[in-house]
Structure 1
Amino acid sequence: MQLIDHGNATPRQVALEIIDNLDAHWGLDLRAIISNEALTENQRLKKLRARMLEAALSGIDERHVDMGVETLATPHDALIQSVLAGEDIETEPNVSVTQHNYDIICGYQGQDVYNYVFTLSKRLESMSKAQTPGQLAVETLSSSLFTVGTAWAKLTWNAWRGGQTLLQATRTGITSLGIKTVVAVVVIVLAAILLYLFLNNPKKILGVIYNNTDEVLVVNNWNQKGGDLYMEHGEMVNFMSDHEDGNLDSPLVQIRNRYFFAPNDPENVIFGGIYFADRNFGLRGSEGVMLFSSKSSDFRVAHQFAIPYTNDNGTNMRKIPPGPVNLSDLFRDMYNTRKTRVDTMTDGYRLLSTVNDPRGGVVGLVAAIGKV
């Protein structure tokens, strides 16, 4: 997996570079939307997604025929219409990677962590410009992703296990789900990352958490007071949420379980969720803890992150036994033992989390929950 070195570029500069590329490619003025301070951040995000998706779909046939498979109307069309109408949507799709790339990602430290999380936007930019299933399949594999979204992953993986090459299977997944739907999911993630990178607020974090277990993970009532997402300081701007098995009538979860055959099998696929947290006011940073719970067992893992205003950045991971948990106390305990990188083995699980640097106000994080 080759990384782009953005060590000398600020997140805002990375965002503007991509926005300028998209403006030139599609003939838009996305800068006017993303920089419009008369709009709230959420309003900017919805307008950005709508304009980007409208432009991306303009070069794709309404009824695209590829390899004899005709893309017809599906329930996923409702997602496209919601984005185009600038409505609220409830999904922030999972990304997925192969076992090979997952192993590489888990080894990232320092600048490589920063480069990985912040150049997701460059990879998604190339994918959003594709106008045929073949083009999108090539761009997806070039990006080192397996898919974006659980629905696309399921179709691609089934074709791959059926004997197709990975490139053929990626293309089959796109034609089966519909290229418009796939592009829509890519745009949903890309627009959110671009807005986050563009905003100049210090003390913010972009994190990617992978779930290499057989457990479907949820953060119960994460968007409600008293839920299993606790923010000591700052606010959660975007939080992972995707359909468990790809079908729109399946439950929303935070990170679905892996596709798994055997340890280190090259056809294993691991899913990850993306979150963005930001400072909201005053001399405070972005600090919090989220409690992941299995839907089918008492397995629980706490993931803590801290981008304080004055102290060192850090992160922590911990397996949590059954029973009541005071998240405020848990946060403080994990905060006091945070590190730039934690990598521990507990009861047959490998828990790791890494921030790119103990210093600086814009932080990248890669974490993983793995069954050994």
Structure 2
Amino acid sequence: MHHLKTMQTADCQKFGMGLIDYLENTFEVDLKSILFAENSNIETIRSNATKTLTEAVRKYHTARGNSDWLSTETASNNPGAFEVTSNWFMTEDNALDYADLEGDEIIKQMQYISSNMSKMLESKDYGLASFYMFASGFLATTTGGAIAFIGSVLAGMTEAEAIAAGLSTLKGGAIGTIVILVISMIIFFVFLRPAKALGFVVNNTDKNLIVDDFKSSSGDLFMNTGKMESFMQDKEDPSRVKSPWIQIHGKMPWLIDGKLRTGVFAGFYFAEKRDWALYGTDGAMIFSSTDGNLKFAHEFAVPYSASNGTNIKLLENDYSGNAKKVFSDLRQNQKKRVVVSTDDYELTSSINDTSGQECGIIATIHQK
């Protein structure tokens, strides 16, 4: 087991260092001194790396007059200090493919996404960036971007033009939205800290999902060890000034040329070991639909020395237990891959490997 952990870590480090070198060379920025600062905690590293890369990307595009990226307006999805990651929008076919990913396929897909997102940042305009977005398997980011994408397709634009239109709704927030994901990917792949979990939750249902009171220690996000560094969150209805915040939006259908197409939303989370802690990271979250008709729990574990694992379970709609209780139940029966099927739903949760300190996780729910 120790040999496998060493090999996996070395492969991830090699990929991550290549990503850092690409970003440093392209945007003339020193990330290594920030990422490998010996006496900085992970929150400072993440904050400084995100700020520094964002500024470098803006400077890069300013020097070249690439106006798409340089709006002074902001489009932040973060309502407070908690770092949140926007929803990502994809075809239903891609959502179904994610449910089938297992083992090394999970890490390879996350590497593919991070490579294309890094290249997006270099693109001279949203038109070119749209090709890298599409190559990543996404049509838009944020619920507002998804609505703009659908509207543009219905207006007769090509798919590439519609993706660019969706990016334009982010205005000044576009760079930051992508940089947050890229920095999380770098920290995940490069062995800055042991025991890291990068999760991707795909909501292939028509329900809007929330993790109730997730910022509270008594809410529906429970961390047994480690710390949740970033978590998915987006607007339920971007057309409203005071739209409620949700975790993952329900799927959006549209009709074009007499054919029904469906887009599906997903969100990333990133958890890791606390500085100087003796344990790794593990926890659980309860997703509830805003209409009260769906509830399920997802668990993950990347212990410092024991085996990694995951679990997922449908809950009764009137389930009264909190995330701490459901964690205790699911942790005991976790596996490398769990599939749950009922008359109405199929749920999956998979990790790339039961050994290794970088654990990629794909969790999906599909409404039949």
Q: Same fold (TM over 0.5)?
A: yes
1:294-333 aligned within 5 A: 294-321=289-316, 322-333=318-329
Tell whether 2:113 aligns with 1:120.
yes
Q: Which residue of 1 aligns with 2:48?
A: 47
Tell whether 2:349 aligns with 1:365.
no
- Alignment equivalent of 1:163, drawn from 156, 160, 163: 156
Equivalent residues of 2:8, 2:356 under 8 A apart = no
Tell whether 2:21 aligns with 1:20.
yes
Check 1:75–1:285 CA distance in 2 against 1; reply closer, same or farther (3 A cut): closer
- Alignment equivalent of 2:193, drawn from 186, 194, 201: 201
Moved over 6 A (4+): 62-66
The whole-number CA distance in structure 1 between the counterparts of 2:48 and 2:282 is 29
The whole-number CA distance in structure 2 between the counterparts of 1:89 and 1:100 is 32
Q: Which residue of 1 aligns with 2:166?
A: 173
Tell whether 2:215 aligns with 1:214.
no
- Give the superposition deviation at 1:126: 0.9
Equivalent residues of 1:312, 1:359 under 8 A apart = yes
RMSD of aligned alpha carbons: 2.9
**TM-score of the superposition, structure 2-length normalised?**
0.86
Q: Which residue of 1 aligns with 2:231?
A: 239
Higher mean Cα deviation, 283-292 or 107-116?
A: 283-292
Please give the secondary structure, in 2, of the residue aligned with 1:11.
helix
1:254-265 aligned within 5 A: 254-260=247-253
* Structure 2 residues without counterparts, runs of 5 or longer: 1-6
Equivalent residues of 2:226, 2:273 under 8 A apart = yes
Deviations 1:222-260 (A, max 9, x none): 121111111222221221122223456422221111113
Q: Which residue of 1 aligns with 2:281?
A: 286
Equivalent residues of 1:71, 1:175 under 8 A apart = no
Equivalent residues of 1:117, 1:366 under 8 A apart = no
**Aligned residues with identical type, % of pairs:** 26
- Give the superposition deviation at 1:64: 6.8
Tell whether 2:271 aligns with 1:277.
yes
Check 1:25–1:352 CA distance in 2 against 1; reply closer, same or farther (3 A cut): same
Higher mean Cα deviation, 21-30 or 341-350?
A: 341-350
Check 1:56–1:88 CA distance in 2 against 1; reply closer, same or farther (3 A cut): farther
- Alignment equivalent of 2:98, drawn from 90, 97, 105: 105
Higher mean Cα deviation, 313-322 or 7-16?
A: 7-16
Check 1:43–1:307 CA distance in 2 against 1; reply closer, same or farther (3 A cut): closer
Equivalent residues of 1:90, 1:241 under 8 A apart = no
Higher mean Cα deviation, 87-96 or 285-294?
A: 87-96
Equivalent residues of 2:83, 2:229 under 8 A apart = no
The whole-number CA distance in structure 2 between the counterparts of 1:161 and 1:196 is 38
- Give the superposition deviation at 1:272: 1.0
Check 1:293–1:270 CA distance in 2 against 1; reply closer, same or farther (3 A cut): same
Equivalent residues of 2:184, 2:270 under 8 A apart = no
The whole-number CA distance in structure 1 between the counterparts of 2:333 and 2:98 is 24
Q: Which residue of 1 aligns with 2:349?
A: 353
Check 1:99–1:138 CA distance in 2 against 1; reply closer, same or farther (3 A cut): same
The whole-number CA distance in structure 1 between the counterparts of 2:112 and 2:344 is 32
Please give the secondary structure, in 1, of the residue aligned with 2:232.
coil
Q: Which residue of 1 aligns with 2:3?
A: none
**TM-score of the superposition, structure 1-length normalised?**
0.85
* Structure 1 residues without counterparts, runs of 5 or longer: 1-5
Check 1:54–1:73 CA distance in 2 against 1; reply closer, same or farther (3 A cut): closer
Q: Which residue of 2 aligns with 1:225?
A: 217
2:175 is aligned with what amino acid? V
Please give the secondary structure, in 2, of the residue aligned with 1:200.
coil
Q: Which residue of 2 aligns with 1:3?
A: none
Tell whether 2:337 aligns with 1:344.
no
- Give the superposition deviation at 1:29: 0.8
The whole-number CA distance in structure 2 between the counterparts of 1:192 and 1:71 is 23
The whole-number CA distance in structure 2 between the counterparts of 1:71 and 1:29 is 22
The whole-number CA distance in structure 1 between the counterparts of 2:118 and 2:177 is 12
Equivalent residues of 1:174, 1:182 under 8 A apart = yes
Equivalent residues of 1:159, 1:169 under 8 A apart = yes
- Alignment equivalent of 2:331, drawn from 314, 335, 354: 335
Deviations 1:164-209 (A, max 9, x none): 221121122234543x432331112212322333343222211100
The count of residues paired between Structure 1 and Structure 2 equals 354
The whole-number CA distance in structure 1 between the counterparts of 2:354 and 2:70 is 49
Deviations 1:58-98 (A, max 9, x none): 344699778xxx9976452xx49x9xxxx956532122221
Deviations 1:259-283 (A, max 9, x none): 1359xx7731111111112123554
- Give the superposition deviation at 1:356: 1.1
1:10 is aligned with what amino acid? D
1:112 is aligned with what amino acid? E
